[in-house]
Structure 1
């Protein structure tokens, strides 16, 4: 591997001037301003919720925004993942020797709080670039070049990023898995016993309606990098495109479809977001009437009526449970959403919940077409 990722610094977005992503992250989802920068036609605002940091690059400058590149993508998008690496210069040399394109070679930025060195790497995952960063010893609130933004403490709904999901074209997961392994040290994380890394986990939607192929990747123990999930559509006799196919069409190619945010209390977080005006995806009406679902919910220490009220999904057994709820898209183009996830000893991503999410998104698309 060329450059092992040690931690996730931030996730960057590119939006046009006036797009309300930064405002909505604060108003609806509990993120707080952390640091800001305005230069070269860009307004950059870093926002934080727990250890999850989003960097919103707003505008369209003549050059690239600091710590990233401008992909000139046709729609608003999550465009960059920034990772800590131990030896940046060595990592970049090794990546370049492997044939990786490095549009921004190592450059240092400093202020009175210290120095940060970064480089930007192109990835094969659509418009997604990767920033590799050496920031050990930097004492500032965010990064050099940004002024701190003081704000009141946030609601504490989110503690960290649990996982990152890339929507991929059919058949591309094996090549992407190898690339993230060779370049950043990710390795296959089986989601089912004996899972073939070339095939991943197939989650059929049922009734010949296609489904998802999921391939999960993680870095070695001792790192603080979220799980990376590659998602592609399974072939099926669907009357309309599924949500991965819709993402690929509306996003104009592969990219970061959603970010899973870990919450210590999904009921509190979901309720707070709804009260603030956030919109959550509603599971199918029959979801909570499935055989054994009420007992499963009670075994996890929850009341079925409360989970149903917030649209929270649950999966697991034997004392280990996974609870999830999904927001509606943060962009009008329907190309990015957030997931809240609470783990009660469970790993994985809730195979049965994936089916329920699949159905709910399809139903949502049908309702949108009818209105």
Structure 2
């Protein structure tokens, strides 16, 4: 491996000046300003909730904006708002970049050092094969500032409101990428060879983990998921590659819709871990967060009702909050469950969104049973609607 990642530093998003992303992250998901800088037509604001950090890069309209104003990232020059950089900490940036160049990886920003009174950080930016997604590799050393050199602290935090979302989310559980058909194996090898990720199986134990898990959905095609985890000793989140399977229908599935509206492959969603998804979901909804409501038939399936009851939950309560529950088949019998809620896209395009996730027991999956159940529930709904003469 060229550069084994040690931990996640932050995830960067690029939006035009005045786009409400930073406000929405604070109001609806409990993120708090950490540090900021303004230079070269860019406003960079780091927001955090627990160990999860988003760096929102707002680009000014008109002359004066350019890549020279950015730190720890590159301008994706993308036509729509985008989440286009995942920053990982590594032990030695210069040797990591040299090894990645030897593997043919394009380097967008050569290693450079940035310092302030709290210390020095060295970083570089490399291009991934995943559309407009780049990766900043950062060597923090003993830096002791609130975020990174070049940023100023946003001031002392206000006293936490016990009724607020502050503290609901602890860290990034996983990051999901939307892949064009036939590309996930190439991306998989890149993350293994360049960043030290290891593939792990989501399907049966006798199936090579590199093949991923195929979730079929009749005429709709389906989804192939491939999962990777960080190298031993790393605290980086898991990585999920999602690729559409060929279908016979005319409608676009979630991956195809992302690819069309984002106008290239890329980072589709980030999952925020919570220890209490019922409370987090209720608070997000009360704060104005837009959440996806699963079809009612999902909570009426016998197998799903049995799973919810086995986990100690109430189907009616989960249906009220829109929480999905899936038992981790890989972990065998027991109380290993995953609970999840998806937000609607954070931009006007049907692209980047968040997932709220709680893992109960030793669950390591990504809700693959939920994907199957949701697709089947939707097909049941469409069939019944057509039978009743209702429009699709």
The two structures have a TM-score, normalised by structure 1, of 0.95
- Residue 157 of structure 1 and its aligned partner are, at CA, apart by 1.0
- Does structure 2 conserve the Cα–Cα contact (< 8 Å) formed by 1:284 and 1:359? no
SS at match of 1:288: helix
Q: Secondary structure, in 3 states, of the residue corresponding to 2:17?
A: coil
2-structure distance, mates of 1:264, 1:202 = 29
Deviates further, 294-303 or 336-345: 294-303
Q: Which residue of 2 aligns with 1:141?
A: 146
Q: CA deviation at 1:279?
A: 1.0
Q: How far apart in 2 are the matches of 1:301 and 1:59?
A: 47
Alignment partner, residue 217 of structure 1: 228
Task: Give the Cα separation in 2 of the matches to 1:263 and 1:281.
Answer: 18
SS in 2 for 1:292: helix
Give the stretch that moved more between structures: 341-350 or 45-54.
341-350
1:116/1:138 contact within 8 Å kept: yes
Question: Partner of 1:338 in structure 2?
Answer: 354
Q: Is residue 120 from structure 1 mapped to residue 125 from structure 2 by the alignment?
A: yes
Q: Does 1:273 align with 2:290?
A: no
What residue in structure 2 maps to residue 204 of structure 1? Answer: 216
Give the equivalent residue in structure 2 for 1:354.
Answer: 371
What SS class does the counterpart of residue 12 from structure 2 fall into? strand
Counterpart contact for 1:83–1:130, Cα < 8 Å: yes
Answer whether contact 1:282 1:360 (CA < 8 A) is retained.
no
**Larger Rg over CA atoms:** 2
CA distance in 2, matches of 1:209, 1:79: 29
Structure 1: gaps spanning 5 or more residues = none
Give the superposition deviation at 1:356.
Answer: 4.1
Who is 1:328 aligned against? 344
DSSP-derived class of the 2:302 partner: coil
- Which whole-Å deviations, capped at 9, do the CAs of 1:35-61 have from their partners, x for residues lacking one? 111111000000001100000000152
Q: Aligned equivalents of 2:8 and 2:228: distance in 1?
A: 14
| d(CA) in 2 for partners of 1:63, 1:298 | 53
Residue 232 of structure 1: which of 240, 243, 257 is its match?
A: 243
CA distance in 2, matches of 1:39, 1:332: 27
CA–CA separation in structure 1 for the residues paired with 2:116 and 2:246: 52
CA–CA separation in structure 1 for the residues paired with 2:81 and 2:377: 24
Q: Which residue of 2 aligns with 1:50?
A: 50
Q: In structure 2, how many angstroms separate the alpha carbons of the residues matched to 1:229 and 1:295?
A: 28
Distance 1:210 1:77, change over 3 A: same
1:62 corresponds in structure 2 to 66
Q: Find the counterpart in structure 2 of residue 99 from structure 1.
A: 104
Counterpart contact for 2:298–2:374, Cα < 8 Å:
no
Partner of 2:235, secondary structure, is: coil
The answer as to 2:262 corresponding to 1:262 is: no
Is residue 199–residue 210 contact of structure 2 (8 Å, CA) maintained in 1? no
Partners of 1:195 and 1:274 lie apart in 2 by 40
The 2-side partners of 1:199 and 1:62 are apart by 41
**Structure 2: gaps of 5 or more residues:** 328-332, 386-390
Of stretches 335-344 and 191-200 in structure 1, the one that deviates more from structure 2 is 191-200
Whether the 8 Å CA contact 1:243–1:361 is kept in 2: the answer is no
1:12 partnered with 2:12: yes
Cα distance change of structure 1 residues 281 and 332 upon mapping to structure 2, 3 Å threshold: same
Alpha-carbon separation, structure 1, partners of 2:226 and 2:195: 16
Who is 1:176 aligned against? Answer: 187
Alpha-carbon distance in structure 1 between the residues aligned to 2:30 and 2:372: 28
Cα distance in 2 for residues equivalent to 1:25 and 1:274: 13
User: Deviation per CA, 1:194-252, whole angstroms, max 9, x where unpaired?
Assistant: 333442110112x3211100000112221101110000000111231111001000001
| Separation of aligned partners in 1, 2:224 and 2:15 | 29
Q: Is the 8 A contact 2:282 2:321 kept in 1?
A: yes
Structure 2 counterpart of 1:132: 137
- Identify the residue that residue 330 of structure 2 maps to in structure 1: none
- Equivalent pair of 1:120/1:131 in contact (CA under 8 Å): yes
d(CA) in 2 for partners of 1:12 and 1:257? 13
Name the stretch that deviates more: 117-126 or 238-247.
238-247
Aligned to 1:164: 175
Q: Residues 333 and 83 (structure 1 numbering): CA distance in 2 closer, same or farther, change over 3 Å? A: same
